[in-house]
Amino acid sequence: MDRKEQRPTAACNYVDPDYFDTMGVRLLRGRGFVDSDDETSRPVAIVNETMARRLWPEQDAIGRRFSATGPEGPWLEVVGVAANGKYEFIFEPPTLHFYAPLEQHFRTSRTLHVRTAGIPPGQLGAQILQCIRRLDPDLPAYDVQTMMESLQGGNGFFLPRVGAALAGVLGALGLLLAVVGVYGVVAYSTSQRTSEIGLRIALGAEPRDIRSLVLGRGVRVAVAGIGAGLVVSLLAARLVGQLMFEISPHDPITFAGLSALLGAVVLAASWIPARRATRLDPVAALREQ
């Protein structure tokens, strides 16, 4: 049964039949466009997963019809369901989107996608322009760029790279402050226990015992800080999950590596006060008391 009462607010791409193979868009069900999908045949469309679930929940979208303009049509018959993708911006959530054959919806402006094999894409730009000019010298062709160059723009990874650089700088400053802070805490704690350490040395404590005593406080600070940081990071991972690419927000290697790095930094910051404590003169320490 057609659901003509639905008028989805959805974006659309008008594409050629070979678009899905060229761009690597997976068809989950149904068929792709064919050469016979032209102005003489019935209007068809391929919807993405989100649109299929939104308009026809728990039903098969193949064979259904919809209109994106109003009750007067035109009505498009769904012939396929494609996987969700990124259509305008890399951070956009799954939105309603459908594809329609270019032969059924003429557009004067077109985008030519070329997939290369064995040849660097950057070397083909001039050759593609020459081919276009040989076919039609008056046809304007502009903004030739590779996919990697396109992804460096404002709709690609430019803003994430700037944000990542700033986050890296802030992270380095935070690590530096953590080192200074831990060093100050351990050094102050050691200075408060000068007489105790001197008495331990006078009673025969070995340098390794004194180092263990001082480093133990640093280890406790590190464990408490890393534990609290892991809890906060796991809770915040849900908020930044969409900003990550090719990595899970709960990646165990990342959490383990950063925890080990912070632990090593804390131990390094505690080593200087521990080493200084082993060189205390027990007599001078006891006189200060």
Distance CA 95, CA 106 (A): 24
For residues 5 and 24, which has the higher predicted lDDT (pLDDT)? Answer: 24
- Among the listed ranges 95-99, 225-229, 259-263, 284-288, which one has the minimum average pLDDT value? 284-288
In tens, the pLDDT along 70-112 reads 777 789 999 999 999 877 777 777 889 999 998 898 877 778 8
- The band of 5, judged by pLDDT with boundaries at 50, 70 and 90, is very low
In tens, the pLDDT along 146-197 reads 888 877 776 677 887 888 889 889 988 987 887 787 777 777 776 677 677 7
Q: What is the mean pLDDT of residues 37-45?
A: 92
Q: What is the mean pLDDT of residues 120-147?
A: 84
Q: What is the DSSP letter of 262?
A: H
**pTM (2 decimals)?**
0.57
* Residue 39 φ then ψ, to 5°: -65, -15
Domain spans of the chain? 11-113, 114-156, 158-288
Q: Mean of the per-residue pLDDT values for the chain?
A: 80
Stated length of the chain = 289
Distance CA 125, CA 149 (A): 12
**What pLDDT shows up at residue 1?**
39
**What pLDDT shows up at residue 78?**
95
Q: Which residues contact 82 (CB under 8 A, 6 or more apart)?
A: 20, 25, 26, 27, 28, 46, 47, 48, 49, 99
Tell me the percentage of the chain whose pLDDT exceeds 90. Answer: 18
Q: What is the mean pLDDT of residues 218-233?
A: 82
Q: Which residues contact 231 (CB under 8 A, 6 or more apart)?
A: none
Q: What is the mean pLDDT of residues 43-48?
A: 94
- The band of 242, judged by pLDDT with boundaries at 50, 70 and 90, is low
**What pLDDT shows up at residue 28?**
93
Helices vs strands, H then E, count in the chain: 9, 6
Distance CA 172, CA 216 (A): 25
Q: What is the mean pLDDT of residues 17-21?
A: 87
Pairing of strands 65-66, 76-82: antiparallel
Alpha helices, DSSP H, located in the chain: 19-23, 49-55, 125-135, 147-151, 158-192, 194-202, 207-240, 252-278, 282-288
- Among the listed ranges 23-37, 125-139, 270-284, which one has the minimum average pLDDT value? 270-284
**What pLDDT shows up at residue 114?**
82
Q: What is the DSSP letter of 94?
A: P
